[in-house]
Amino acid sequence: MELVFEHLTKEYGNNKALNDFNACMKEGIYGILGPNGSGKSTLMNCITDNIKRTSGKILFNGEEILSMGSRFRQCVGFMPQQQGFYDNFTAYRFLFYIAGLKGIKRKAAKEQIDELLEIVGLESEKNRKLGGYSGGMRQRILLASALLGNPSIVIMDEPTAGLDPEERIRTRNFISKIAQDRIVLLATHVVSDIECIANQVIMLKKGKLIGQNTPYELMDSVKDKIYERVCSSGEIEMYQKKYKVGNIFQRQNGMVLRIVADEKPEEFEPVTGDVSLEDVYLYYLKGRE
């Protein structure tokens, strides 16, 4: 299975929301990382054909998706960031409604819905109205609805937004579980989600592909560019104007400021063995053109 992007470009007047994007995706989880306006949503909407690309190609197993038409749409499941629910619908009824929109026959839909409710841990809550669901339960129902029809490509927009830590971990585990034989695109601002489950990270900035690699390789690429020092509150404000500042946190000896830089500032000390994908984000995507 292969999803290929060749010189994909989307323009809005003089603004290029996607600028000559090239990538090849196979089975696994692809975390799409970038600040607001980087092109994440544009990329997802080009795949689903919700917006028309300006130029370039998207090929699924060697065939242009526009030529495939409904055959390609049947291969795609989409989990939006926010979904308008009918709060008086039960989870069971809602999933049958989505299955009907996807053209899945009732017998096949029932089999899939029963299986998916078990996968997302909501089988015992299937007859409960969605209006009484927590945010995490709603996200899991959205995940189940995206998986109806057994799509080969699953696109997720901020799947853990607004969830508490326990629900976030549970949702990440579900995503990992269903990604074994699918191409999963995961767009999120929660960098730790991508660090935990993504096989590949795609970094976008102002519509351009900044880089693509495994989380480990990306973290390894910045391991000698992370520095810390203990600071007073006045010093922190000064350093924030001078450097790319990551975390500011408390340790036993005081407030610690963490920065990324190509060369070691005289007053800072290197960080060893404690690099995260947030450091990668800060180095490659914050303040870089």
State whether 149 and 242 are in the same domain.
Answer: no
What's the pLDDT score for residue 97? 92
Report pLDDT digits (tens) over 147-174. 999 999 999 988 887 778 888 888 888 8
Report pLDDT digits (tens) over 240-285. 888 888 778 877 677 888 889 999 988 898 987 778 898 999 899 8
Specify if 177 maps to a domain. Answer: yes
pLDDT, averaged across the chain:
89
State whether 48 and 139 are in the same domain.
Answer: yes
Report pLDDT digits (tens) over 42-92. 999 999 988 999 999 999 999 999 999 989 988 999 988 766 778 899 999
Q: What pTM was computed for the model?
A: 0.87
Report the 10 Å Cβ neighbour count for 188. 20
State whether 105 and 189 are in the same domain.
Answer: yes
State whether 47 and 173 are in the same domain.
Answer: yes
What's the pLDDT score for residue 82? 66
Residues spanned by the domain of 261: 224-272
State whether 244 and 139 are in the same domain.
Answer: no
Give the number of domains in the chain. 2
State whether 54 and 146 are in the same domain.
Answer: yes
- Domain boundary pick from 195, 215, 235: 215
Specify if 70 maps to a domain. Answer: yes
Specify if 178 maps to a domain. Answer: yes
Specify if 75 maps to a domain. Answer: yes
- Cβ-Cβ contacts under 8 Å for 115 (sequence gap 6 or more): none
- Whole-angstrom CA distances from 34 to 27, 58, 196, 208 are 22, 21, 17, 10
Specify if 138 maps to a domain. Answer: yes
Specify if 277 maps to a domain. Answer: no
State whether 185 and 229 are in the same domain.
Answer: no
State whether 13 and 155 are in the same domain.
Answer: yes
